[in-house]
Structure 1
Amino acid sequence: MTKKINLPILFILLVSVISCSDNNKFKIQKGKVGLITTKTTIKDLHTIFENDSIVSNLSEGALGDNYFQDDDEHLIYEKGGKHLLTIVPKEQLDSTSTIKSIEIHDARFKTETGINILSTFSEINATNNLRPESTLKSVTLFVDELNATIAIDKEELGLRNFSAQKVSLEQIPDLARMKSFVIWFN
């Protein structure tokens, strides 16, 4: 007895599997950015991003002369040159180290609720519980649901840089854009 394959159904299944895997490639969740998880090591990055370019800026460790670079950085670029991610390991100069943090640079990386680096404050505030903290040049928003931090430049708020003025969520304009979006893996 032979079974007939229904080509339209097979095509729909194939397209949905491909689109789901592509969605996972850019999905941000707590403890996960795309295909990177809390268990991913630095040496795994070469497999995950085998079709992309990785630029590693290594610190010199405790014995080095470069006091300004505390952490190793692994910058992930698409083949066309677009900066996707900046990855910082927990342990410096160790390819078996897991990830400490990932800074998002590409708008295709987004959360379940659609938050990405191009999102405005009103979009971020509508779907997340935020805790603001002022620094000299920006306001850092802590997003506990994602274990993430989002920085908004004080210029977006109409405030002077280098002021320690506290900022509440009500003071942040709805259209303020983020300066950085970092997911923490600790």
Structure 2
Amino acid sequence: MRTLMKPLVIAIISVLFIQCGKSEFDVAKGKVGKLTTKTTVNQIENVFKQDSVVKVLSEGAKGNNLFQEDDKYMVYEKGGKHLLTITPKEQLDSTSTIKSIEIFDERFKTESGINIQSTFQEINANMKINKVESSFSSATLFIDDLNATITIDNEDLGLKDFSTQKVTVEQIPDLAKIKSFTIWFN
């Protein structure tokens, strides 16, 4: 009986380690790593206590800037690698929940393996692209199932910067790379 217990205990511990390590970098609708739609701004530093959190706060309603920037909480590993940029729903409010999270580290990935280093071919094969919007410098893919936007630079699309040409899914080259990957919590 005792010889059967040892492999069983090892198997259970292994599964727990895999599950714990995996969830730290999981990306899903309403979840990026340990952050969820319920996480508040005042919890960010505690969630990333092993990392560095750099706050860039706006002037809020007191500022005289018509084009007010959002507060941003940039999370860096101790070695200096940029992991995430978190934007709260309400500026200068520590009880606010999160509006969006831009992902910079390739370890953050979806269940299907999509991350900041994925190509358009991988995205198109694993996710339903609901809409494509063109801007002067990029095309933005809207992924409703993930509540995410993925931006691809015009240069990777074979377009000149400041082009207003409409882009469709069929026009995007398979090897086009992601410029930005943002999960929205609204």
Tell me the number of residue pairs that the alignment of Structure 1 and Structure 2 aligns: 184
CA displacement, residues 143-185 of structure 1 (integer Å, 9 cap, x when unaligned): 0010000000000011011111101111110000010000000
Task: Provide the residue aligned with 1:150 in structure 2.
Answer: 150
Mapping of 1:60-71 within 5 angstroms? 60-65=59-64, 69-71=68-70
SS of structure 1 residue aligned to 2:75: strand
Look up the equivalent residue of 1:80 and give its one-letter code.
G
**Corresponding residue for 1:40?**
39
Hey, what does 1:141 align to over in structure 2? 141
Query: Structure 2 CA distance, aligned partners of 1:40 and 1:181?
Result: 20
Runs (4+) of structure 1 exceeding 4 A deviation are 65-69
Separation in 2 of the partners of 1:15 and 1:51? 24
| Contact 1:58/1:93 (<8 A) preserved | yes
Output the CA distance in 1 between the equivalents of 2:76 and 2:65.
25
Which residue of the partner structure matches residue 100 of structure 1?
99
- Matches of 1:46 and 1:112 in 2, distance apart? 26
Structure 1 residue 9: Cα displacement = 2.4
The answer to whether the Cα contact below 8 Å between 2:60 and 2:68 also exists between their aligned partners in 1 is no
Q: Note the alpha carbon deviations across 1:118-147, whole angstroms, 9 max, x for none.
A: 000010011111111100100000000100
* 1:15 lines up with 2:14 in the alignment: yes
Give the whole-Å Cα distance in 2 for the aligned partners of 1:165 and 1:46. 42
TM-score, normalised with respect to structure 2:
0.94
Q: How big is the shift at 1:8?
A: 3.2
The equivalent residue for 1:111 is 110
Percent of aligned positions that are identical: 59
TM-score (structure 1 length as normaliser): 0.94
Q: Secondary structure at the match of 2:140?
A: strand
TM-superposed deviation, 1:69? 4.9
**Structure 2 residue identity aligned to 1:7:** K
Which segment drifts farther, 61-70 or 23-32?
A: 61-70
CA contact (8 A) 1:103 1:183 kept: yes
CA–CA separation in structure 2 for the residues paired with 1:59 and 1:145? 31
User: RMSD in angstroms over aligned alpha carbons?
Assistant: 1.5
SS of 2:10 mapped into structure 1: helix
Contact 2:119 2:175 in 1 (8 A): yes
C-alpha separation between the residues in 2 aligned to 1:78 and 1:7?
37
Does residue 24 of structure 1 match 2:23?
yes
**Could you tell me how far apart the structure 1 residues matched to 2:56 and 2:14 are?**
38
Change (3 A) 1:77 1:67: farther
Shift of 1:12: 2.4
> Would the aligned equivalents of 1:59 and 1:66 in 2 still touch at CA under 8 Å?
no
Distance 1:162 1:91 in 2: 32
Q: Per the alignment, in what secondary structure is the counterpart of residue 124 of structure 1?
A: helix
Deviation at 1:14, TM superposition (A): 1.5
| Structure 1 spans left out of the alignment, 5+ residues | none
